[in-house]
Structure 1
Amino acid sequence: MLLYNLKLAIRNLLSNKVVLLINILGLSVGITIGLLIFSFAQKELSTDHFLPQHEQVFSLLRNDQPGVAQQMSQLVKKEIPEIESITNCQYEQAPQVFVKNNDVSFKIEKLLIADSSFFKVFQLPSVYGNPSNSLNKPNQLVLTKSLAKNIFGDTNPIGKSLLYNTTHLQNELVEVTAVIEDLPQNSSWDFKAVLSTLTNYKIDWYKNQGWGNQNFISFLKTKENVNPELLQEKIMNMSQENIPDGYKDLIQFSIFPFSQIYFNFPKHGKLKHGNKFTLAIIQIIGFLILFLACVNYINLVTAQRGKRYKNVAIIKTMGSNKRHILALFTYESAITLLIVLVLVIGFVWLLLSGFNQLTHSAFALIEIFSGWNLCMLFFIMLFTLAITGLFPGLIFSRQTTSALINRHVDKKQKNSLRNSLLVFQFFISIILITCLLVINHQNKLLFNNNPGFEKEHILYASTNTDLENNTQAFKNQLLQTPGIEDLTFSSEPILKISENWGLSFINRGKEETIRFAKFRVSSNFFNFFNIQLKQGTNFTEHSKAKWDFILNETAIRNFDIKQLSDARMLLDEDPSSGTIIGEVNDFNFESMHSPIREAVFTCSGKSDEVIYLKTTANTPKILEQTIQLIKKTWNEFSPNFPFEYHFLDDSWEQLYRKEKLFQKIVSYAALISLFLSCLGLIGLSFFVIENRTKEIGIRKVNGAKTIEIMSMLNLDILKWTLIAFVIACPIAWYAMHKWLENFAYKTELSWWIFALAGIIALGIALLTVSFQSWRAATRNPVESLRYE
C-alpha cells in the first residue's frame, strides 16, 4: 500500500509539471535567501557576545569622545574601586609593519598596541601561553593562530623571536609570548597581532605623551554585580583635584557599554561598526521574501487541490478509506518538500562563497543549517506539510462522495484570496524597487559629487625614515620620471585623518581652547589638489619655522574669526609664531556621512608620512609602466619597505563600501522578489485562464477580438498592482527617509522615483501574464467550448 500511494502521489504531481516546477523553484529560492539573510543578521546582532563577561566591559570616554590620554585612564582606575581592570590601546600608526623569521618577511596588516591589562579586560581564548601575562615587558608580541601558523607552521612559537620593523622603529627583536584564537567574524575588533605598549616607548615622540595626547582608546572591566548606572554617575562626578590645571573643567569622563558600541557608537572609529536600521531593513527583506515564497507555494498548491474533488470522489467510489486519502495528500506534499530541502542545501552551497564575499563574512555550510536557522527550516517544512498535505487530506477524507461531486465553490472568496496574494506580491516588489532606485541615486551622489579636491589620476603611498633622510634626491628623481606630473606630502592620507588637536587660541583679545582636525602638509599641497585659497597667502619655505597656520572655511566660521589678523594660535611667548596666514575652501577630508568639520593646516619641513603622485598616464599600459618606474626609484631609496600604493579615487569609493553592499543586497532582493512574483503570477494565470476557458470561447463566438480578451484578463493585474502601489509608497518613503538620515549630503525623495517603481512592477506583471492571455485569446473557440 505504501508503494502504491507513493506511485499515485508521484503521478499526480507530474500531471502538471509546469506548476510543480514553479512550486519547487519558488519555495527553494525563498528559503535559501531567508537562511542566508537571517544568518548574516544573527552574526551582526551577536557581535562581541562571544567574549566572556562582555556585559562588564565599558569604553571610557572623554567629553563623550573615545580618545583619552594614558594618564586619564590611570586616574579613573585609581579613583573608582569598582573597576577590576582598565586598558589603553591603539592601532599601530606606522603604515607598514613587518616581522622577519629566518630571513623571510611577513607583513602584519593590522597590529594593535596594548598594555598588560588588555587580555584581562578582553579574555580571548588562548592556543599557546597565557595572554593575560603576555604584554608586561617591552618587545613582547601576541599572535593570532592563523598568523602564527603562517610564520612558524604547526609548531609552538612561544619563546621564539622575530625581527620587528616598522616605518617608526627598526631592527627590534620581539618575543612571541602567546598565541590566541583568530577573532571570530562577529567581533568588532580586527587585528592580527598585539604588541606591548612598552615597545613603542623606544620612539622619542611616543614616550613623551602627556594629558594633551589623547590618542588611546580605553576600556574598563568592572567587578561583578556593579550597577552600570551608579558607576556612570560616580565617574561623571569624579573630583578634578588630580587633573592638571590646564585641563580642569575641560574633561568630563563617562562610560559606554562595549556590547553596544558596534551599533550605537559609530564615533568609536577604532572598532568595526554596523548600522542597526540598515540591518533591520535587510531582515525585513529576508522575511518578506521568505513569506512571499511560502504564501506563493501554499496558494498554488491549494489552488491545485480545488481541481481534485472529482478525482477524490472516484478514488472513494473505488473503495479508498479516509487513511488512504490522507496518506495520498501527505505523500504528495512530503515528496515536494523533500525535493525543496535538497534544492535548498544545493542552492546554499552554490551561493555561499559569493554571499561571504558580498557581506565580508566567513560562513561555513554547517553554520547556515544550525541554531535558529535549523529551527526555522524545520518549522517551515512542518507548517507547509500541514497546510498543503495533512489539512487538505483531512478535509477531503471526511466528505462524502456526493458532496465531492456536487461541490459548490465560492468564487468570490477564492478570488479574494488570489487578489490579496497579488497585492502582497507587488507591494513587496514596489517597495524593493523604490528602495533600490533611492539607494542608487544616493550612491551616485556620493561617488560623483565633487569632494572639493582633485582625486583622479592620483596615487599615494606611505613613506618611511629611509625616504625622509633622502627627501630631496628622492623627489628630484621621481619628478624626472616619465608619467609623473607632480608630487606632494601630508602627515596622513587625505581621506583618513585621525590626528585631532586642541590648542589655546586668541581671537580679538579673547583666549579660548579650540579643537580641530590637524593636517601637516607640504607647501604645494593646496596647488597639487587644486584646493582654492579663499583669502590670505599660501605656505612658504619659512612657514615651518614660523609655525604658520591655514584654516578651512568651517574653522574660520565656527571660531568666529572676522579677520585673519585678529586671531593667533598660542604656541609660546614668541608673538611671531602661530600666525593664521590663510583660509582655504572647504573640502571633504572625511566621508560625506558627516558634515565638514574644522581643519587646521601646518607646513611640514621636507616630507611627511604620505606621498601623493599625480600621473599623466591615459591608458592602463602607460600607467603600469609609470608604476614600475616609481617602484624602481622607490626600491633604490627604500630597500627595506616596498612600494605599496593606492589610487585616491578608489579610496574615495571605499568610504561608501557599506552603501555599495546595501545597494547590492537590495538589488538582488528586488530581482528575487520580482522573480517569485512572476512565478506566482504564471501559476495563478494557469488557473484563472483554465477556470474561464468556456467564458473566453463564448465571448469569441460572439465576436470578441483578441485584444479585448487580453484586456479583460489583464485588467485585474492593473487594478491590483495600483492598489499595491498606493500601499507601498508611504512605507518605502519612510524607510528611505530614515536611511538617508545617515548622510550629511543626501538626495531628494522625488515623486518620479515612486512612479518609476510602480511602472516597472506593472510592466513586469503585464509581460508575465500577457503571453498566457494571448494564448487563451487566440485559442480556437470550438476547443474552448468543448473543454471540460
Structure 2
Amino acid sequence: MIKNYLTIAFRTLLKNRTYSLINAIGLSVGTLCCLYILMFVTNQYSYDKHHTKAKNIYRVTSTLIASGEKHQMATCSPIIAPALKSDFPEIEQFTRVIPTIDVGRHLLHYQEKSIYEKDAFFVDSTFFNVFTYHFVFGNPMAALVEPYSVVLLQPMAEKLFGETDPTGKTIEIDNAYGNHDFKVTGVVDESLGNTHIPARMFFTMNSGGIGNVVRHSNTWASQNFTYTYIKLNANTDAAAFERKLPAFLDKYGREDLKARGMEKQLHLQPINSIHTTSGYEADIAVPVSASFLNILLLIALLIQIIACINFMNLATARASKRATEIGVRKATGANQRDLIRQFMGESFLLSALSILIALPLLFILLPYLNQITNTNIHLSLLNNPTLWLILSGITVVTGLLAGSYPAFYLSNFQTINVIKGNFSNRVSAGGIRRSLVIFQFATSVFLIVGIIVIFRQLQYIKNKDLGFKPGQTLVFSFYTDESKQQMNSFASDLKELSAVNAISKSTNYLSQAVPRDHGVFLAGDDAATSVNVQEIISDESFVTANGINLISGRDFKSDDLGKVLVNESMVKRLGLKPEGAPGTLLYSRYGSGPESHVEIVGVMKDFNYSSLRDDVRPFMLSYDPHESDLSHLIVSVNSNNYEPLLKKITTLWQKDLSNTPFEYRFLDHEVNNQYKSEKTMSRIINSFTLMAIFISCLGLFGLTAYNAEQKKKEIGVRKIMGASVVKLTFSLSQDFLKLVLVSIIIAMPLAWYAMKVWLENFAYRTNLSWWIFTLAGALALGIALLTVSWQSWKAATRNPVDALRYE
C-alpha cells in the first residue's frame, strides 16, 4: 500500500513539473533557512550545558541601590564567595573569575617567540572543580594550585609551542602587573561545548596583580568586580538557598553598606542561562538577547509557513485537474481515509525531497551563513543527534502543515458530482487561498519594515553627534611597564609630525568600558547621599584630542593636580548650575578612611562616552599626568590619508618601542564596534527577509501562472473581441494586487508596534516616520506587481488561435 502511494505521488510530481518545481524550490529554500536558524538558536542555548553538574552551578549577582539609582550587576565583592562557602554546607565548591580588561593585552615570551594576547582571566585554584574543560595536556585538579601557574587554550599554546606538550615549561608574561615567569600547567580546548567565559588563558589567583587585591579584600559594599560562581550540592533547593542570602549579607555587610549609603542584594543566576540573559551591567561577555533568538525562531516559522502556503494554494487551485482522478478512485472503492493518506504521502514526499535538496545547499552556504550570523556552526550528520532531531521535526511538521488542508479538501469531492463534471466542493478553497496569500505578504511587509527601521537606527547611531569627534583619531595602547616607560618618548616624536593635532594620555579611550567609579558628595553631605560617577584619569590634552566642548570654566593646566572636569549630567545630579559649578569641591570617602576632595575647574557638554543604548551618566575627568595606569595614547590627526602617516608612525614605534608589537586602533571603528549585535541582527533579518519575499513571490508566480492557464480561452475570446494587452494584463493582475494591498494594511500597525518596542532598547533612537511604512508597502506592492504582471503579460500576449483552435 505504501509503495502504491509513493508510486502515485512520484507520477503526480513528474506529471506536473512546473508546479512541482515551484513547490520543491519554495520548500527547499524555506527548509534551508529554517534548518540553519534552528541550528543557530540551538547553538546559542547550548552554552555552559556541558559542565558536570551544570544544573547545580550558579553565578552570584548583585543588585546595588545608591543615590536613588538601581544597578543590576553580574558581579559582586571578592569576599562574598569564601564567606558563603564557610557559612553554608549546601555549597560544594566556589570559584571567582576576574577578567584582565584593565590590563588589556599581555606580552608573552617563549625563547625567540613573542606574541600579544588578550582575554586572560585570574581564577581561583578551584576553577576546574566547578567548570568542566577538556584537558589536552595537564591535570585539571592540580593545574592552578601553584603560584604563577597558567593554563592555556590550545590555539594559543600552539602559537608558542607547536603541537608538543608544554606542561612544565616556563613562559615570560609582561603586562601592567609587571614582568613575571609563569609555569604552564595545562592546555585545554573547547571541544566539550561553548562557554560564556571567552578565555584564552587562565592565571591562578595566587599570581600577584589583581589576584592580591581579591585575596585581601574585606569590603562588602564596594569592589564589585568579581564574577563569583558556586556549585551547590545535588539535593539543594536553589530558590530556598537564595532566600537565605539577605540574612547572610546583613550579618556581615550591614555596617559597611550603611557607611556608604548603599543597599545590596544577592541573587543566583543559573550558569546555562547567562549567555541568553541580557540586562546585567559589567557582564563578562556580551550575551545574546533571548528576545532576539525568539525573533529568529518566529522568522524561521514564518518562512516555513510561507513555503507551505505555496504548496496548499497550488494544490487546492489545481483541484479540478485531480477531481476526475479522485472520482474514479472513490468509484472503485477508495474511501476518504485512503485519499487523505495518498495526498499526505505526496506532501511528506515533497517535504523529504526539500530536505534532500536543502542539506547539500546548507553545506555549500554554511561559511556564508556563519559570516552573516558571526558564529562558527559546523554541520556534522554522523554524530549530531540534535541535527537529526531537527531534520525529522522539519520533515514531519512541514509535511503535516503543507499537506493537511489540501488532503482534506481534495478527498472531500463527491463522486457523483465529479462524474457529472461538477468540480465544486463542500469546502470553499477560494477564501482560504486569498487569506493565505494575504498572510504571506503581510509577513513580508512586516519584515521589510524591520529591515528599514533597523538600517535607519544603525545609520542614526553612525551619524549622531556624540559630543566628541571619533573621526581622524588613532589610539595606541601600552600594556607593559617597559612600553609605558617609552610612552612619553613616542608621544614627543609623534608631536613632530605635521599631521598630528593633539596627543593625550589616559586610563581609557572613549567607547571603552570605564571600570573606575565611586561616590562623590558636596560639602555638608555624606556618603549616604553621594552620586556615583564614572571616572577617566588623563593629562591636560584629553578634551582637545577628543574634540569635547566645555560649557563653563576652563580646561586643565599643567599644575592642576587634584582638579577635575565634570559633565552636565553630573552637575544636574549634584543640584548645581553649569556656570556656578567651577570652584566647587567634591568629597569622597572609602570605608572608614578620611575624606578626600577634588575641585571642579570646568563643565563639559554631555557626550556619549559609552553606547547609545544608555543615557549619559555622571562622568568625571581627573587630571594626573603621572598616574601609573595611563596606558592609552589618543592621537588626533588632520589627514584622511593614513597610509603614509602610518608608515611614519611605524618608523617612530620601531625606534622607541622595538621590543613591542605595533598595534593601533581607529577610534571611530571602536565606537561602531559597540553595536556588533545590532549589525548582526540586521544582516540576519535582511538575508532571511529576502528569502521570505522570494518564497512568497514564487507562490504568487505559480498562482498567477495557473490562473492564466485556466483563463486562456477567456483571454483568447477577449483578444479577438478587441481587448488590449494592457487591459488584459491589468484584468489578470488586479485580484492578486488587491490581496497585497490588504496585506499591507494589516501588516502596518503590527510592524509599527514591534519596531516601537525594539527601539525602546536605545536611549537615543530614530523616529518611526510615516514614509518608512509607505516605502515598505510600495516595495511589497512593486515586487508583487512585477511577479504578477510578468505572468499576466505573457498570457495576454499569446496568440488567441492557440487557445481556441479546438473549440
The alpha-carbon distance between structure 1 residues 23 and 66, as it changes in their structure 2 partners (threshold 3 A), is closer
Pick from 610, 618, 635 the counterpart of residue 640 of structure 2.
618
Query: Using the alignment, how far apart are the partners of 1:361 and 1:251 within structure 2?
Result: 40
Post-superposition shift, 1:499? Answer: 1.9
Worse-matched range after superposition: 399-408 or 767-776: 399-408
Q: Is the 8 A contact 1:430 1:725 kept in 2?
A: yes
Post-superposition shift, 1:490? Answer: 1.1
Whether 1:569 aligns to 2:581 is no
Whether 1:663 aligns to 2:682 is yes
The alpha-carbon distance between structure 1 residues 56 and 427, as it changes in their structure 2 partners (threshold 3 A), is same
Query: Using the alignment, how far apart are the partners of 1:59 and 1:383 within structure 2?
Result: 38
Any residues of structure 2 matched to 1:54-133 within 5 Å, and which?
A: 54-62=54-62, 63=64, 64-92=72-100, 93-133=102-142
The alpha-carbon distance between structure 1 residues 333 and 495, as it changes in their structure 2 partners (threshold 3 A), is closer
Query: Using the alignment, how far apart are the partners of 2:338 and 2:256 within structure 1?
Result: 89
Q: Is the 8 A contact 2:61 2:267 kept in 1?
A: yes
Q: Is the 8 A contact 1:41 1:279 kept in 2?
A: yes
Query: Using the alignment, how far apart are the partners of 1:746 and 1:199 within structure 2?
Result: 45
Unaligned runs of 5+ in 2: 65-71
C-alpha distance after superposition, 1:128-147 (max 9, x if no partner)? 33324322232101122333
Any residues of structure 2 matched to 1:273-284 within 5 Å, and which?
A: 273-284=287-298
Pick from 340, 356, 360 the counterpart of residue 354 of structure 2.
340
Pick from 621, 627, 631 the counterpart of residue 609 of structure 1.
631
Post-superposition shift, 1:686? Answer: 1.5
Whether 1:499 aligns to 2:515 is yes
Worse-matched range after superposition: 201-210 or 282-291: 201-210
Q: Is the 8 A contact 1:459 1:647 kept in 2?
A: yes
Q: Which amino acid aligns with 1:752?
A: W
Post-superposition shift, 1:298? Answer: 3.7
Q: Which amino acid aligns with 2:620?
A: V
Query: Using the alignment, how far apart are the partners of 1:566 and 1:72 within structure 2?
Result: 37
Q: Which amino acid aligns with 1:456?
A: G
Whether 1:442 aligns to 2:457 is yes
Query: Using the alignment, how far apart are the partners of 2:513 and 2:404 within structure 1?
Result: 62
The alpha-carbon distance between structure 1 residues 667 and 20, as it changes in their structure 2 partners (threshold 3 A), is same
Q: Is the 8 A contact 1:261 1:268 kept in 2?
A: no
Worse-matched range after superposition: 559-568 or 334-343: 334-343
Query: Using the alignment, how far apart are the partners of 2:29 and 2:230 within structure 1?
Result: 46
The DSSP-based 3-state class of the residue aligned with 2:530 is strand
**Which residue pairs with 2:69 in the alignment?**
none
Post-superposition shift, 1:183? Answer: 6.6
The alpha-carbon distance between structure 1 residues 330 and 757, as it changes in their structure 2 partners (threshold 3 A), is closer
**Which residue pairs with 2:23 in the alignment?**
23
**Which residue pairs with 2:49 in the alignment?**
49
Post-superposition shift, 1:392? Answer: 5.8
The alpha-carbon distance between structure 1 residues 221 and 720, as it changes in their structure 2 partners (threshold 3 A), is same
The DSSP-based 3-state class of the residue aligned with 1:307 is helix
The alpha-carbon distance between structure 1 residues 238 and 180, as it changes in their structure 2 partners (threshold 3 A), is same
Worse-matched range after superposition: 746-755 or 561-570: 561-570
Query: Using the alignment, how far apart are the partners of 1:510 and 1:685 within structure 2?
Result: 77
Query: Using the alignment, how far apart are the partners of 1:77 and 1:489 within structure 2?
Result: 43
Q: Is the 8 A contact 2:467 2:549 kept in 1?
A: no
Q: Which amino acid aligns with 1:529?
A: N
Q: Which amino acid aligns with 2:534?
A: A
Q: Which amino acid aligns with 1:781?
A: P
Query: Using the alignment, how far apart are the partners of 1:364 and 1:285 within structure 2?
Result: 22
Q: Which amino acid aligns with 1:567?
A: L
Pick from 581, 587, 606 the counterpart of residue 601 of structure 2.
581
**Which residue pairs with 2:445 in the alignment?**
430
Post-superposition shift, 1:749? Answer: 2.0
Post-superposition shift, 1:347? Answer: 1.2
Q: Is the 8 A contact 2:712 2:795 kept in 1?
A: yes
Query: Using the alignment, how far apart are the partners of 1:74 and 1:502 within structure 2?
Result: 25
**Which residue pairs with 1:230 in the alignment?**
240
C-alpha distance after superposition, 1:445-477 (max 9, x if no partner)? 111111110011111121243343244432221
TM-score, structure 1 normalization: 0.89
- Provide the aligned C-alpha RMSD in A: 3.6
Q: Is the 8 A contact 2:327 2:414 kept in 1?
A: no
Worse-matched range after superposition: 649-658 or 17-26: 17-26
The alpha-carbon distance between structure 1 residues 206 and 276, as it changes in their structure 2 partners (threshold 3 A), is closer
Q: Which amino acid aligns with 1:254?
A: L
Q: Is the 8 A contact 1:118 1:132 kept in 2?
A: no
Q: Is the 8 A contact 2:323 2:423 kept in 1?
A: no
Whether 1:486 aligns to 2:498 is no
The alpha-carbon distance between structure 1 residues 430 and 372, as it changes in their structure 2 partners (threshold 3 A), is farther
Whether 1:254 aligns to 2:266 is yes
Q: Is the 8 A contact 1:316 1:401 kept in 2?
A: no
Query: Using the alignment, how far apart are the partners of 2:252 and 2:392 within structure 1?
Result: 61
Post-superposition shift, 1:113? Answer: 1.0
Query: Using the alignment, how far apart are the partners of 1:296 and 1:558 within structure 2?
Result: 59
Worse-matched range after superposition: 463-472 or 254-263: 463-472
Q: Which amino acid aligns with 2:110?
A: N
**Which residue pairs with 2:185 in the alignment?**
177
**Which residue pairs with 1:215 in the alignment?**
225
**Which residue pairs with 2:706 in the alignment?**
687
Post-superposition shift, 1:160? Answer: 2.2
Q: Which amino acid aligns with 1:225?
A: N
Worse-matched range after superposition: 548-557 or 257-266: 257-266
The alpha-carbon distance between structure 1 residues 243 and 396, as it changes in their structure 2 partners (threshold 3 A), is closer
The alpha-carbon distance between structure 1 residues 181 and 97, as it changes in their structure 2 partners (threshold 3 A), is same
Worse-matched range after superposition: 377-386 or 586-595: 377-386
TM-score, structure 2 normalization: 0.88
Identity of matched residues, %: 27
Post-superposition shift, 1:331? Answer: 8.8
Q: Which amino acid aligns with 1:162?
A: I
Q: Which amino acid aligns with 2:540?
A: S
C-alpha distance after superposition, 1:572-610 (max 9, x if no partner)? 999995112221111111100111111111112257211
Q: Which amino acid aligns with 2:601?
A: I
Query: Using the alignment, how far apart are the partners of 1:279 and 1:326 within structure 2?
Result: 36
Pick from 583, 596, 612 the counterpart of residue 616 of structure 2.
596
C-alpha distance after superposition, 1:469-497 (max 9, x if no partner)? 24443222111135333211210121113
The DSSP-based 3-state class of the residue aligned with 1:557 is helix
The DSSP-based 3-state class of the residue aligned with 2:380 is helix
**Which residue pairs with 1:741 in the alignment?**
760
Post-superposition shift, 1:767? Answer: 1.0
The alpha-carbon distance between structure 1 residues 703 and 116, as it changes in their structure 2 partners (threshold 3 A), is same
Q: Which amino acid aligns with 1:624?
A: E
Query: Using the alignment, how far apart are the partners of 2:91 and 2:339 within structure 1?
Result: 70
Query: Using the alignment, how far apart are the partners of 2:420 and 2:377 within structure 1?
Result: 53
C-alpha distance after superposition, 1:535-579 (max 9, x if no partner)? 2222111123xx112211111111223443443224799999511
Q: Is the 8 A contact 1:22 1:679 kept in 2?
A: yes
Query: Using the alignment, how far apart are the partners of 2:698 and 2:647 within structure 1?
Result: 54
The alpha-carbon distance between structure 1 residues 474 and 187, as it changes in their structure 2 partners (threshold 3 A), is same
Query: Using the alignment, how far apart are the partners of 2:124 and 2:410 within structure 1?
Result: 71
Size of the aligned set, in residue pairs, is 781
Post-superposition shift, 1:684? Answer: 0.6
Whether 1:38 aligns to 2:38 is yes
Pick from 281, 293, 305 the counterpart of residue 267 of structure 1.
281
Pick from 203, 209, 218 the counterpart of residue 195 of structure 1.
203
Query: Using the alignment, how far apart are the partners of 1:480 and 1:54 within structure 2?
Result: 58
Q: Is the 8 A contact 2:175 2:481 kept in 1?
A: no
Query: Using the alignment, how far apart are the partners of 2:8 and 2:526 within structure 1?
Result: 94
Post-superposition shift, 1:618? Answer: 2.7
Query: Using the alignment, how far apart are the partners of 1:482 and 1:635 within structure 2?
Result: 19
**Which residue pairs with 2:379 in the alignment?**
365
Q: Is the 8 A contact 1:131 1:179 kept in 2?
A: no
Q: Is the 8 A contact 2:700 2:788 kept in 1?
A: yes
C-alpha distance after superposition, 1:251-278 (max 9, x if no partner)? 5240231433331443242233011212
The alpha-carbon distance between structure 1 residues 685 and 560, as it changes in their structure 2 partners (threshold 3 A), is same
Query: Using the alignment, how far apart are the partners of 1:721 and 1:773 within structure 2?
Result: 16
Query: Using the alignment, how far apart are the partners of 2:456 and 2:671 within structure 1?
Result: 17
Query: Using the alignment, how far apart are the partners of 1:98 and 1:542 within structure 2?
Result: 34
